[in-house]
Amino acid sequence: MVSNNFFLKKKVYITDLFPRKKFEKKTRLNNIKPLGEATKLDLTFYDSKKYKSHANQTKASFCITTENLSKDLPKSVEKIIVKKVLVELARVSKIVYPFSDLDYPDFSLKKPKKSKFKTVKFGNNVLIGKNVKIGKNSQIGANTIIEHDVQIGNNCIIGSNVIIKNSLIDKRVVIQDNCKIGQKGFGFLPNKGKNFKFPHFGKVVINSDVEIATGCTIDRGSVDDTVIGKNTYIDNQVHIAHNVKIGEDCMIAGQVGFAGSSIIGNNVSIGGQAGISGHLKIGNNVRIGGGSGVVKDIEDNQVVMGYPAVPLKEFLKNLKK
Amino acid sequence: MVSNNFFLKKKVYITDLFPRKKFEKKTRLNNIKPLGEATKLDLTFYDSKKYKSHANQTKASFCITTENLSKDLPKSVEKIIVKKVLVELARVSKIVYPFSDLDYPDFSLKKPKKSKFKTVKFGNNVLIGKNVKIGKNSQIGANTIIEHDVQIGNNCIIGSNVIIKNSLIDKRVVIQDNCKIGQKGFGFLPNKGKNFKFPHFGKVVINSDVEIATGCTIDRGSVDDTVIGKNTYIDNQVHIAHNVKIGEDCMIAGQVGFAGSSIIGNNVSIGGQAGISGHLKIGNNVRIGGGSGVVKDIEDNQVVMGYPAVPLKEFLKNLKK
Amino acid sequence: MVSNNFFLKKKVYITDLFPRKKFEKKTRLNNIKPLGEATKLDLTFYDSKKYKSHANQTKASFCITTENLSKDLPKSVEKIIVKKVLVELARVSKIVYPFSDLDYPDFSLKKPKKSKFKTVKFGNNVLIGKNVKIGKNSQIGANTIIEHDVQIGNNCIIGSNVIIKNSLIDKRVVIQDNCKIGQKGFGFLPNKGKNFKFPHFGKVVINSDVEIATGCTIDRGSVDDTVIGKNTYIDNQVHIAHNVKIGEDCMIAGQVGFAGSSIIGNNVSIGGQAGISGHLKIGNNVRIGGGSGVVKDIEDNQVVMGYPAVPLKEFLKNLKK
């Protein structure tokens, strides 16, 4: 599946973004990307030792970071030393992607043209934005909105009252009624009286054979993407925040919540109402009990439960005290 | 209220479903039902000692079960011995009800005809499927979808943006905005790369004088039904999974979640954000504190709290340790 | 922003409401208001010592209360002594506001007239009720419903599939897709077989620069209002019950739930899935950890965590036991 641009991107030179800093040359910026995905002519950012391994190997041309962290970056990277990495990142992202800090309604929506979607079945009052692509034999329920540039694969079943924006959806995906996918995440810089809204110019990627039950919300990524792996099944009213990456063959029960930027392995099962804190790494084949609150990384093949979640044996032992 | 069939049911002989097994005769199957509801010519299933009392008395003609469990069934039942009961049940259910493993959009939806619903008040853009029945003086809010064969009683108030499918709703029921009722539950057989979607051919039954607040999701039953008893009130964002049965006069506060197949008694109150695990039996007059995680059966008249939930006295004693 | 009446109010004399009681004179009632907001000719109620300070200073002309509590009220107030304050309050509220105990669909909804909303941008199929006011340069997404008498300020961005009723919304407010604001709260008097629905004739007030993410539900007040303070940001799937008042500059993460009538200070941050019980007072600058269950008042500047929530130090100490 090819990537896509959902947001207007301004053409800027790196020197436009940081006018006080001296650069080797006046380079035209390609994009803003996370450490691990940035390539030549891209700007990235490095704000926590947690991402040191990615920092060591980044292929970005420019990186916003602090004096201290800058040592972890390759020589090839031009370092932009600041005090508050995320503040600078937000500032320049707003210049490059000026319309990504809010969900402006899509006023390009229209009834779908049958000539364009010959084998797609549409329910009543479906609205489709510009440049939307929908694969063969997919079905879309009544009152559903698919905003501009969204791509949906073959043989997908999308329910009624669904809204999809800023998303790439692969084949045989099932999305039940009332899911909201691709909206802006909960990211901002707190500021008394007037927060600074963090631009969200990432997207949502949903891989093949995924099933998402009724009333889920999946926020798009900020700089990165939010990703759901193949054959992962998600129950009702699950909340998936920006930049979360869920692996393949996972089972996520009802009302589970994921805070931003956590990475979940393959074949992970999570019981109802569990919560996963932000910026965690959950291994493969992990089982998380219902109602648990996960606040630390979990290695492969662990079974955990509790608030905060601990290995199941420990949880059961504590109960007997 | 008379039962209803929401899903196409194929006419099959029991010998078609299990071609390798020898049966007494080539019987035309009537239906697939749970142990307690199956009658003559029905196929049922028995997969856990938990349901032994129902097994002892089932009136089904055929039962999928294991060698070991088969002894609990009456002589009148032809036993179909398998290793994985639910796998076989899913396989044959998919043959009998081929369109129940997914929520295919209802393409029969149309604007309601005034001549058919003379005393019903409809908001803008309401969509109604084939064979829908709505009782006298009921009101339906804007953008609401009521799919084929749904029945709604007299004097009901249904809000806006509601979707109701595969459901029988009695009189004087209030359903607030954005509730989604009757969709497929979270049931499947895990299979690396491609799960097997469990057919859900049950329905939702909502009895008289029930009130359901904004944004709730109530999944239909798989083989059984999901049932809400008379005069039970349910607050915002509650999630009720497949086959759950809630009694009369209950009070369920906001964001409570029920996993599948639990049975809740009458006059039960449940505090906000509590979670009820699957396949439990909660007695009458039980009170469950907010945020509790219920993982065991609860007898009548108990007050419980905690994660996992324990009697209130015990919870308070543990706090003081 | 001027207040507004969303519900039909019957003209009644205080003697009509309590025919058995003798009053000084046959006064025409102005309104029913909480202790702190009632003024001359208003009826109020006082049912808990918790509100003694408000009782001492109320300017109401009439107050429903008990014999015991009546001593806390000023001499200027005519006391209406009853055994069950809320039962009487519900009864007379139903007389004064006969259509506020339910969310009757708004059948005044129409497509917006461009001549009335010259600078407002509307998506497809937006529906607007009578007397709705929308400020300059605001944008409203597709399929959104704004019911009668709602007021929205300048430069607001309202997403798609939103429903707003009984609400006053100030300027520069962002409300993302699928939020439901202003519906009736979860209030009733339990009664076997037939609960008594408590009238909800309050509203929702959302102050300037608030941001509310996808799929939140904010119930209107019953007698009082539900209020969100300036520059407060609320994440996905948050549930805010009737009469809750949240201060300015707060950050509320995903799936948090507030039971009714709690008051939250300024600059409070609440982690994901936390629950706040009813009728609590949370101070300024409080931080509440994710998944916490808050069951007691919290003073200014505290950091709490746990179920039930305790000061963070205590929570961490208990973990080590």
First and final C-alpha spacing in chain B: 53
Q: Are C173 and C140 in contact (CB under 8 A)?
A: no
C274 and C158 co-located in one domain = yes
Mean pLDDT of A146-164: 98
- The domain that holds C28 is classified in CATH as 3.40.1390.10
The confidence score (pLDDT) of residue A321 equals: 72
Residues of A in contact with B273 (CB under 8 A): 273
What is the average per-residue pLDDT within B299-315?
97
Q: Which of C274, C297, C270, C301 minimizes the C-alpha distance to C285?
A: C301
Cβ separation of A121 and B127 shorter than 8 Å? Answer: no
> Any CB–CB contact under 8 A between A235 and chain B?
yes
Contact flag B255-C259 (C-beta cutoff 8 Å): no
Report the chain C residue with the minimal C-alpha distance to residue A295.
Answer: C290
In a domain, A169, yes or no: yes
Do A266 and A221 have their domain in common? Answer: yes
3-state SS string for B22-69 = CCCCCCECCEECCCCCCCCCEEEEECCHHHHHHHHHCCCCEEEECCCH
Instruction: Locate A247 and state its tokens.
Output: 């692996």
CA distance A123 to chain C (A): 15
B19–chain A Cβ distance below 8 A for any pair: no
Size of interface B-C (CB pairs under 8 A): 130
Instruction: Tell whether the model's pLDDT for residue C3 goes beyond 90.
Output: no
- My answer on whether A56 and A132 are in the same domain is no
- Alpha-carbon gap: B294 to the closest alpha carbon of chain C (Å): 15
Sign of CA dihedral C198, C201, C202, C204: positive
Confidence of residue C4 (pLDDT cuts 50, 70, 90): low
Indicate the number of domains in chain C: 2
The reply to whether C235 touches chain A by the CB within 8 Å rule is yes
Does A199 have pLDDT greater than 60? yes
CB atoms under 10 Å from CB of A50, counted, come to: 12
Stretch C65-89: mean pLDDT, rounded?
97
Calculate the CA B63 to chain-centre distance. Answer: 21
How many CA atoms, within 13 angstroms, populate the side-chain half-sphere of residue C105? 31
Cβ–Cβ under 8 Å, residues C81 and C73: no
- Are A176 and B194 within 8 A, CB to CB? no
Full 3-state SS string of chain C: CCCCCCCCCCCCEHHHHCCCCCCCCCCECCEECCCCCCCCCEEEEECCHHHHHHHHHCCCCEEEECCCHHHHCCCCCEEEECCCHHHHHHHHHHHHCCCCCCCCCCCCCECCCCCCCCCCEECCCCEECCCCEECCCCEECCCCEECCCCEECCCCEECCCCEECCEEECCCCEECCCCEEEECCCCEECCCCCCEECCCCCCEEECCCCEECCCCEEECCCCCCEEECCCCEECCCCEECCCCEECCCCEECCCCEECCCCEECCCCEECCCCEECCCCEECCCCEECCCCEECCCECCCCEEEECCEEEHHHHHHHHHC
Kindly report the CATH number assigned to the domain that includes residue C207: 2.160.10.10
Closest-approach residue (CA) in chain C for A276: C272
Catalytic residue among A54, A148, A239, A242: A242
> How far off is chain C from A241, nearest CA to CA, in Å?
8
Q: How many CB atoms sit inside 10 A of residue A195's CB?
A: 18
Residue A211 lies in domain: 121-320
Give the C-alpha separation, B110 to B136, whole Å.
20
Q: Which residues of B are catalytic?
A: 242
Distance between CA atoms of residues B164 and B134, nearest Å = 12
- Kindly list the distances between the CA atom of residue B277 and the CA atoms of A196, A311, A315, B244, B266, in Å, as whole numbers in the listed order: 41, 20, 17, 11, 18
| Mean pLDDT to the nearest integer, B268-282 | 98
Q: Rounded to whole angstroms, how far apart are CA atoms A284 and A279? A: 16
| pLDDT in the model for residue A23 | 93
Identify whether A42 is part of a domain.
yes
C192 with B159: Cβ contact below 8 A: no
Measure in Å the smallest separation between the Cα of B39 and chain A Cα atoms: 32
For an interface test with A, give the residue of C127, C152, C178, C238 to mutate (most A CBs within 10 A).
C178
Reported ipTM exceeds the 0.85 cut? yes
Would A159 be classed as within a structural domain? yes
pLDDT in tens, C195-236: 999 999 999 999 999 999 999 999 999 999 999 999 999 999
Average of pLDDT values for B206-225?
98
State the smallest CA–CA distance between residue C271 and chain A in angstroms. Answer: 9
Decide which of A81, A96, A111 is a domain's last residue.
A96
Q: Are residues C35 and C127 in the same domain?
A: no
**Residue where one domain finishes, among candidates C45, C80, C96:** C96
Altogether, the residues listed in chain C come to a count of: 321
Of C236, C248, C291, the CB nearest to A307: C291
Beta carbons within 10 angstroms of residue B131's beta carbon? 13
Task: Please tell me which residue of chain C has the smallest CA distance to A255.
Answer: C255
Burial of B216 (0-12, 13-18, 19+ CB in 10 A): buried
Q: Is the pLDDT of residue B4 over 80?
A: no
- The pLDDT of B148-177, averaged and rounded, is 98
Cα separation, B209 vs B221, in Å, equals: 21
d(CA A127, CA A107): 10
Please identify among residues 251-290 of chain C the ones whose CB lies closer than 8 Å to any CB of chain B. 255, 257, 259, 273, 275, 277
The average confidence (pLDDT) of chain A is: 96
**How far is CA C198 from each of CA C86, C185, C259, rounded to the nearest angstrom?**
9, 9, 16
- With respect to residue A262, please indicate whether it lies within any of the assigned structural domains: yes
pLDDT value at B280 more than 50: yes
pLDDT of residue C1: 37
Instruction: pLDDT band for B5, please (50, 70, 90 cuts).
Output: confident
Is the Cβ of C105 closer than 8 Å to some Cβ of chain B?
A: yes
CA-based radius of gyration for chain A = 21
- The residue of chain B with its CA nearest to that of C109 is B124
Q: Does residue B7 belong to any structural domain of this protein?
A: no
Question: What is the nearest CA distance from B265 to chain A, expressed in angstroms?
Answer: 22
Residue B209, chain C, CB below 8 Å: the answer is yes
Residue of C nearest to A236 (CA): C237
Domain boundary among A62, A81, A96: A96
Angle, vertex CA B112, rays to CA B146 and CA B175, nearest 5 = 35
Q: Compare all CA atoms of chain B with the CA of C318 and give the residue at the minimum distance.
A: B321
CB B50 within 8 A of CB B34: no
Between the alpha carbon of residue C258 and those of residues A186, B253, C301, the distances in Å are 19, 11, 20
Question: Does residue A4 register a pLDDT over 80?
Answer: no
Compute the nearest-CA separation of B312 from chain C (Å): 13
DSSP helix, strand, coil percent of chain B (3-state; round to 5): 10, 25, 60
The answer to whether C157 touches C137, Cβ cutoff 8 Å, is no
| Closest residue in chain B to residue A251, using alpha carbons only | B190
**Cβ–Cβ under 8 Å, residues A160 and A139:** no
φ, ψ at C89 (rounded to 5°): -60, -45
> Is B129 near chain A, with CB under 8 Å?
no
Q: Does B308 lie in the same domain as B160? A: yes
Q: Are residues B193 and B65 in the same domain?
A: no
Cα angle, residue A312 at apex, residues A307 and A314 outer, rounded to 5°: 80
Query: Which of A176, A216, A249, A317 to mutate to test binding with chain B, by most B CBs within 10 Å of its CB?
Result: A176
Is A186 within 8 Å of chain C by CB?
yes
Q: Is residue C306 domain-shared with residue C171, that is, in the same domain?
A: yes
User: Are C130 and C76 contained in the same domain?
Assistant: no
By C-alpha distance, the chain C residue nearest B321 is: C318
pLDDT tens digits, one per residue of B72-81: 999 999 999 9
Q: Which residues of chain C neighbour B267 with C-beta distances below 8 Å? A: 192
Chain A neighbours (≥3 Cβ pairs under 8 A) are B, C
Residues 302 through 321 of chain C touching chain B, CB cutoff 8 Å: 307-308, 321
Tokens of A269: 């099962």
Position C31 in a domain: yes
Q: Which residues of B are less than 8 Å from A157 in CB distance?
A: 102-105
Smallest Cβ–Cβ distance between A186 and the set C215, C253, C307 belongs to C253
* Cβ neighbours for C159, distance < 8 A, ≥ 6 positions apart: A103, A105, A183, C141, C144, C175, C176, C177, C178, C179, C214
Q: Is C102 on the interface with B (CB under 8 A)?
A: yes
Instruction: Name the DSSP letter for residue A211.
Output: E
Residue A172, pLDDT above cutoff 50 = yes
Are residues C213 and C274 both part of a single domain?
yes
Q: What's the first-to-final CA gap in chain C, in angstroms?
A: 53
B137 vs C33: CA distance, rounded Å? 33
Q: Are residues B128 and B40 in the same domain?
A: no
From the list A184, A191, A257, the residue facing C272 with the nearest CB is A257
Mean pLDDT of C84-90: 97
Burial (CB count <10 Å: 0-12, 13-18, 19+), residue C276: buried
Strands C275-276 and B163-164: unpaired
Contacts of B189 (CB under 8 A, 6+ apart): B86, B87, B90, B195, B196, B198
pLDDT at C321: 72
Q: Are the C-beta atoms of B162 and A214 separated by less than 8 Å?
A: no
Task: Answer yes or no: are the C-beta atoms of B144 and B159 closer than 8 Å.
Answer: yes
C127 with C198, same domain? yes
**Smallest Cα distance from B148 to chain C, Å:** 22
Other chains touching C, judged by 3 or more CB pairs under 8 Å: A, B
pLDDT of the residue at A320: 81
CB distance B176–C195 less than 8 Å?
no
Q: Is A60 on the interface with C (CB under 8 A)?
A: no
**Cβ(B260)–Cβ(B279) below 8 Å:** yes
B54-64 average pLDDT score: 98
For tokens 């008040």, the residue is: B121
Decide if B177 touches C, using CB distance below 8 A.
yes
* Beta-carbon separation of B186 and A231 below 8 A: no
Largest CA-CA distance found in chain B, in angstroms, rounded: 69
pLDDT tens-digit series, residues C262-273: 999 999 999 999
C140 to chain A, any CB pair closer than 8 A? The answer is yes
Residues of chain B contacting residue A163, judged by C-beta atoms under 8 Å apart? none
Q: Give the number of other CB atoms < 10 A from CB of residue A131.
A: 13
Q: CB of B195 within 8 Å of any CB in chain A? A: yes
- pLDDT (tens digit, 9 = 90+) per residue, A30-41? 999 999 999 999
Task: Kindly report, residue by residue over A231-269, the tens digit of the pLDDT.
Answer: 999 999 999 999 999 999 999 999 999 999 999 999 999
Is there a contact between B233 and C188 (Cβ–Cβ < 8 Å)? yes
What is the predicted pLDDT for the residue at A166?
98
pLDDT of res. C5: 79
Asked if the structure places residue B114 within a domain, the reply is: no
Whether B8 is covered by a domain: the verdict is: no
d(Cα B5, Cα B123) in Å, to the nearest integer? 28
Mean pLDDT of C114-123: 96
C96: exposed, middle or buried (Cβ count in 10 Å: 0-12, 13-18, 19+): buried
For residue A1, pLDDT over 70 is answered with no
* A185 and A298 fall within a common domain: yes
Considering only the beta carbons, identify the residue of A105, A107, A186 that sits closest to C159: A105
The shortest C-alpha distance from C147 to chain B (Å) reads 11
Give the tokens for residue A287. 């089982």
Assess whether C242 carries a catalytic annotation: yes
